[in-house]
A and B are shown apart, each in its own frame.
Chain A
Amino acid sequence: MTWTCEQTEARLSDYLDGLLNSEEWSAFNLHVNTCAVCTPLVASVAHTLGGLYSLEQVEPPPHLETGILRATVGYRKFDFWAWLRSLQSPRFIYGAVSVAATFALLLTATGFNWRKPKLADLAPATIYHKADGKVHVFYGRSVKFVSDLRVVIEIQSRLNEGDQNPAMREETIPQSSPKKEPGRTDNTNPSTPKQQNRANDISRRLEVLACEFPILRGSLVDRRFP
């Protein structure tokens, strides 16, 4: 059976689709293997067919179905089960857990009793009053803490100043002497009872501070007993 180039071109799809009988198939192969024109033609069409088969299905956009239904029937029927299935996404679950945790945290902060929950505790007025009370208590404690901290820092800074300036220390800290009599600040004039009380008061405070801050004991003792 003879085979020509025109036959090759006309029956190429039949060959590629396997529709040639055995005699035609043999003649086709014999011709193509010896023809310099038909060999590249068959190879390129076979390659093209491979490319066509490799084309994957393209996913339509998600809104297309909705758009078609809206354009045809004008609405989309609410499907409860489809809606329920859509809630099973990890993103929704994560969001729901976050919202629940935030809600629980806020309720706890307002003083909600989880062991004995009452419906009245969830009333907005109750939540407001409890939150207001909590905020005031927190504010009061904060103010007290800052005030205490300020006193301690002030005392500490004064002590440091005294350490750096001995002259000042001599002036500010009353000196005691075994030769002095109580109530006298120097050897000439007796001190007034008021001055003596102040000196005693400062001495007591230094002793208290020495007890509270052992690290300062040495310097405080030096001041007390120079």
Chain B
Amino acid sequence: MEQDAQLVQQCLQGDGSAWEELVRRHTRRIFNICYRFTGNRTEAEDLTQDVFLRVYRTVASYRSAHGGFATWMTSVTRNLLIDHYRRTKRDRVTDSLDDAMPVVENKESVARRPDEQALLGELSGQVQTALTRLSPELREAVILRDLQQLEYLEIQRVLEVPEGTVKSRINRGRIELARILQQMGVRPA
């Protein structure tokens, strides 16, 4: 935390290596949030790059009094993910209509890349698929709590909602996720 604040200060003074260090420290975490939210590596790469571009342009507006730099970056990421979700909503509706058409299409042709298949274990892959079917509000809450291990207070800052709403969303998200997994045929042993 302290180190991040120092790096931001150095960055604001024009130290390029400080920015490189910030990129190196946070790329993996931001990429994982984006990947878990979208379920797509290519989209996650593009969104991660967009997040850093926005952070680079607005880093001067960061105030350490409002929380850690990581929380601030997560907040930027969340806003971009929601924007991306809304922007691609129309495409997804079109895709859903296409899926509903009685056209025999090989689902393997639109399957994930082999490296993505390798990344997903049996249960892990099913959980990732179920995550992408959750509503964005519940999805982001579950990802921040159960995958990024953030505290309730940090999630509250990122989502800018009261603590009660955070807890409610996390609870509803977990229950909904369990129901989706049951619909997919995944049951506890």
Contacts and interface: CB of A to CB of B under 8 A. Distances in A.
B69 interface: no
Contact of A12 (B49, B171, B182): B171
B82 interface: no
B16 A73 contact: yes
A52 B146 contact: yes
Centre residue among B31, B36, B171, B177 by max chain A CB count within 10 A = B171
B181 A44 contact: yes
Interface in A119-145: none
Interface string B23-44: 1100110011001100001000
Nearest to B170: A13
Interface residues of A, number: 36
B188 interface: yes
B130 to A, nearest CB: 8
A57 to B, nearest CB: 6
Interface string B150-172: 00000000000000000100110
A71 B27 CA distance: 14
B174 A60 contact: no
Interface in B119-153: 119, 121, 123-124, 126-128, 130, 142, 146-147
Nearest to B48: A64
Interface string A57-78: 1111100110111011100110
Contacts of A72: 19, 23, 52-53, 56
Contacts of B181: 44, 47-48, 51
B123 A71 contact: no
A106 interface: no
Contacts, number: 114
A54 B124 contact: yes
A55 B128 contact: yes
A109 interface: no
A1 to B, nearest CB: 20
B175 A54 contact: no
Interface in A9-50: 9-14, 16, 41, 43-49
A163 to B, nearest CB: 71
A43 B28 contact: no
B31 A52 contact: no
A6 interface: no
A57 B28 contact: yes
Given A44-B182, A52-B127, 18 more contacts: A10-B171, A13-B170, A43-B188, A44-B188, A47-B178, A48-B130, A48-B181, A49-B146, A52-B146, A55-B36, A60-B27, A61-B45, A67-B45, A68-B48, A68-B52, A71-B52, A71-B53, A73-B16
